[in-house]
């Protein structure tokens, strides 16, 4: 790819390791996956999938940054090392709500970067990431729906 473009590199670096970047989301999902395994084992496969999907997004973005001649270090474009917040919540409903918020924000951020990039190869990679993000959103909405069903079945 070798497209040296500091503007694109900064956009992608922030998407990768900015405040609520993909790597922060990955760490968030990884922590939750370990908690879900213990506290809500019936949802562990869903969270394993979320970890896997987010890692795929991180790897894709990292490769694009490196192929551009950048260095996909774990800091934002302003060289601030990762400082994204990981919520150490153990209530599954709260976890899902927080995760949906993160994923929906990352969808918006990815679309925003996509609108600013003219390079076809980078656009293709961002489109792939968008489909991953939509899959994450679908998984989380499905978990939320299942929690709703479980909660309402206990009322009956």
Gyration radius (Cα) of the chain, Å: 17
Q: What angle do CA 104, 22, 111 make, to 5 degrees?
A: 50
The domains of the chain, with CATH numbers, are: 6-151 (1.20.1260.10)
Residue 87 or residue 140, greater confidence: 140
Q: In this structure, what token pair is assigned to residue 14?
A: 């922030």
| Tally of CB atoms within 10 A around 67 | 15
Residue 25 or residue 69, greater confidence: 25
Q: In this structure, what token pair is assigned to residue 148?
A: 């709703």
Identify the band that residue 87 occupies on the pLDDT scale cut at 50, 70 and 90: confident
pTM as predicted: 0.90
pLDDT digits (tens, 9 = 90+) for 103-118: 999 999 999 999 999 9
Identify the band that residue 73 occupies on the pLDDT scale cut at 50, 70 and 90: confident
């Amino acid at each position: 790819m070798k497209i040296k473009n500091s503007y694109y590199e900064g956009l992608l670096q922030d998407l990768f390791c900015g405040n609520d970047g993909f790597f922060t989301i990955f760490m968030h999902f990884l922590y939750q996956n370990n908690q879900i395994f213990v506290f809500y084992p019936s949802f562990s496969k869903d969270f394993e999938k979320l970890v896997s999907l987010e890692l795929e997004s991180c790897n894709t973005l990292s490769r694009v940054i490196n192929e551009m001649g950048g260095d996909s270090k774990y800091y934002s474009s302003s060289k601030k090392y990762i400082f994204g917040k990981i919520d150490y919540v153990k209530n599954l409903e709260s976890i899902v709500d927080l995760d949906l918020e993160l994923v929906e924000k990352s969808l918006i951020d990815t679309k925003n970067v996509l609108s600013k990039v003219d390079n076809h190869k980078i656009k293709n990679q961002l489109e792939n990431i968008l489909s991953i993000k939509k899959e994450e959103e679908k998984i989380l909405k499905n978990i939320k729906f299942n929690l709703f069903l479980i909660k309402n079945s206990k009322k009956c």
